[in-house]
Structure 1
Amino acid sequence: MAYDVQQLLDMSQQQLDELFRASPPGEIPNGEAAGTAIIAPGTHYTESIAKIINFFGWQGKVFDAANGVLKNKVSVLGVEAIVAKVYLGSSWLDNKPCIVLDYSETSFVAQWIRDEIRLISPNFYLGKVYWGKDRLIDFCLQF
């Protein structure tokens, strides 16, 4: 099944978790991806929060698969900053393979953050964000 951002924004946390668990890691992506934060999934606030975050804070990620790194696109200007290492690893959600976006050695401001992504449709990834070992939010990336 092909998914789009709106479908994910309309899902509950349980549905997002089930989709993540059922999806393969996919290949480490390369290039620029538009990102959408998924906060308060399944509520009528989710879409509004995502729009505010996209405008003011985070627009997506730019992957360099050959070097195993990425940069986040942040601020109103879409500045490329906040670097992460990118590699295949085991998910903290279900211990199955995923693509890990690891900030622990590359970013002072995000050193406690770990993202995990899995491919849910062609060129479309669902992600989980952790602060330490605590889950924070979900997000998606469209290439």
Structure 2
Amino acid sequence: MTAATRAQPRAAAPERILSLDRLAALSSDALRGLYARGSVPDDLTALDGRPKGRMLAVRGLEHGPAGRLLRAMARHPRFPWDGKSFFPDQADASRGINRVDLVVRRFDLFPFATRIEPSVLDGQPCVYLDYEQPGNPWFIARIRDELREVGPDLYLGPALWKRLRGGASHLLWFAVDFATPSNA
């Protein structure tokens, strides 16, 4: 080995292409395209832990002052929603709960069950987070969250409002990052 070879710095680990910050910078249309190309795990036990979460974009409010304010609030460390905790039970069904930090106290709120089923956005498989669980208020039971993996340990999904006559309205985009576990 020559002195020149020894003096060269060691190559750094490759940077993740996607992160919560990079997802938050994308438009709703770009997030939809990324979600469409995402995948579901072969086994729901892959969703295990307390990934950091981030609200990314609210449909219809992504531009202008309101959109900038919402993105800044979601990025702030004191934003109340910290993410979701996942507890794997089986390969095809599992459970979880949302983590909310209200400065003076942290809460685990709004449990959900998970399973693989077709997305209401495009009919392709997704991880469905089912809030129709005992103890959840009616308005939480009307939420439909979906997830797909869009990068290593990085899951993107729409939050939707289930309509009374079927179907759902898309409200916002969110993501959870298993590579960045929550400290909360």
Q: Tell me the TM-score normalized by structure 1.
A: 0.89
CA displacement at 1:60 relative to structure 2: 0.4
Residue 28 (structure 2) pairs with residue 6 (structure 1): no
C-alpha contact (below 8 Å) 1:89/1:98 kept by paired residues: yes
CA positional deviation for 1:131? 1.1
Q: Is 1:70 matched with 2:88?
A: no
Find the aligned partners of 2:52 and 2:62 in 1 and give their Cα distance: 19
Q: Provide TM-score, normalisation by structure 2.
A: 0.70
Q: Matched residues in 2 for 1:22 and 1:124: separation?
A: 13
1:2 touches 1:120 (CA, 8 Å); kept in 2? no
CA–CA separation in structure 1 for the residues paired with 2:79 and 2:56: 15
1:56, CA displacement in angstroms? 4.2
Partner deviation per Cα, 1:34-53 (whole Å, 9 max, x = no partner) = 1000134465345313135x
- Counterpart for residue 87 of structure 1: 115
- Map of 1:60 onto structure 2: 83
> Which structure shows the bigger proportion of residues in strand conformation?
1
39-48 or 14-23: bigger deviation:
39-48
**Which has the higher Rg, Structure 1 or Structure 2?**
2
Instruction: Provide the aligned length of Structure 1 versus Structure 2.
Output: 142
CA positional deviation for 1:104: 1.8
Rounded Cα–Cα distance in structure 2 between residues aligned with 1:50 and 1:141: 13
C-alpha separation between the residues in 1 aligned to 2:70 and 2:18?
A: 17
Unaligned runs of 5+ in 1: none
Partner of 1:35: 53
The letter of the residue matching 1:73 is R
User: How has the CA–CA distance of structure 1 residues 56 and 7 changed in structure 2, closer, same or farther, with 3 Å as cutoff?
Assistant: closer
> 1:30-79 CA deviation, whole Å, 9 max, x = no partner?
11111000134465345313135x62421001001216110100132331
Q: Secondary structure of 1:31's match?
A: coil
- Name structure 2 gaps, 5 residues minimum: 1-15, 163-167, 179-184
State the alpha-carbon separation in 1 of the partners of residues 145 and 30 from structure 2. Answer: 18
- Give yes or no for contact 1:88–1:97 (8 Å, CA) kept in 2: yes
1:44 aligns with 2:62: no
RMSD after superposition: 1.9
Specify the SS of the correspondent of 1:104.
coil
